[in-house]
Amino acid sequence: MATLNTKQRLNTGAEIPAIGFGTWQDKDSQEDAVAEALKAGYTHIDTARIYGTEPAVGRAIKKSGIPRENLFITTKLWNNSHHPEDVEAALDASLKDLDTDYLDLYLMHWPSPFARGDKVMPKDSNGKMITGDSDYVDTYKAMEKTLKSGKTKAIGISNFSRAELERLLKETTVVPADHQLELHPWLQQKDFIEFNRSKGIHITQYSPFGNQNEIYDSGKNMGKLMDDPTLVEVGKKYGKSGAQTALEKAWGINSGHSVIPKSKTPSRIKSNLEGDFKLEPADLTALNGIDKKLRFNDASASFGWDFYADLDGKKK
């Protein structure tokens, strides 16, 4: 089944490809993986300062020969650069590593600040994170200024709660173009997604495979999302094999979102693109019915910030 090459629209008027290529983890494999993704037909590449993969992404893009204007590149501001005076310098560093003059989308990775400085994970002698005192509203205002410089075409957020987003909207000028968050059939967050949509904020789903990633401790000792009986059953209908990964992405895309699956395996990189296909309404309804409100990524304890306090899946 061929991909539809679906594109979604941001509130800036720009188009964002519905399937992007994620570059979190496997830092040393990313140059080859991104090169393979570009060859397979991906045009949306998602990275972040903390991933350490920006240089590899930049090299792969350069080697591909694909014109910059044909690509959509996203990266993210890290927590140690939240002070308003540090934001543009952090963006400049990302642009340099990516070997590009501009971004299509620049996100605040988390609302939580760390101590200013070169250490990306600053910790005290007891191993506890040293938090900063920058207000995410002030950080975002500094990001707004990067729009005027042309260094990024759009700005957005990631991992915000509803209260945090409401405050941001009230106290800043530019409505985020995109909100990147954990979203999959077991964590659908319907009310919060509708709230974002009502404000004109596009959704990009990370971890579209749920607890497939071994890094999520909370996802262990239970079955995998990819083995969910409903996913398996609907997958058969569309000729999707045991790897229902494509089906999970189709759920997100048919819901109007973008998704950023990651892989370093050439065959899987290609097959992930096939997640862009049309689901029949009854099948989309069936998938909408398997929400378990299961959140697998919550860094509250290690980051010194109470994330997702008012959202589904928060462990009380």
The residue type at 7: K
User: Are 180 and 158 contacting, i.e. CB atoms less than 8 angstroms apart?
Assistant: yes
How many contiguous H segments (helices) and E segments (strands) does the chain have?
11, 10
DSSP 8-state secondary structure symbol assigned to residue 201: -
Question: In which element (H, E) is residue 258 found?
Answer: strand 258-259
Helix axes 30-40, 54-64, angle to 10 degrees: 40
Which residues belong to the active site?
51
Q: Strand pairing partners for 123?
A: 129
Cα 117-205-53 angle, rounded to 5 deg: 40
Q: How far apart are CA 156 and CA 227, in angstroms?
A: 33
Say which residues have a Cβ less than 8 Å from residue 88's Cβ, sequence separation at least 6. Answer: 142, 145, 146, 149, 151
Q: How far apart are CA 192 and CA 183, in angstroms?
A: 11
Say which residues have a Cβ less than 8 Å from residue 53's Cβ, sequence separation at least 6. Answer: 23, 24, 27, 30, 47
Q: Give the three-state DSSP class for 187.
A: strand
Q: Is 149 exposed, middle or buried (0-12, 13-18, 19+ CB in 10 A)?
A: exposed
Alpha-helical (H) ranges within the chain are 30-40, 54-64, 87-98, 136-149, 162-171, 190-198, 229-237, 245-254, 266-272, 281-288, 300-303
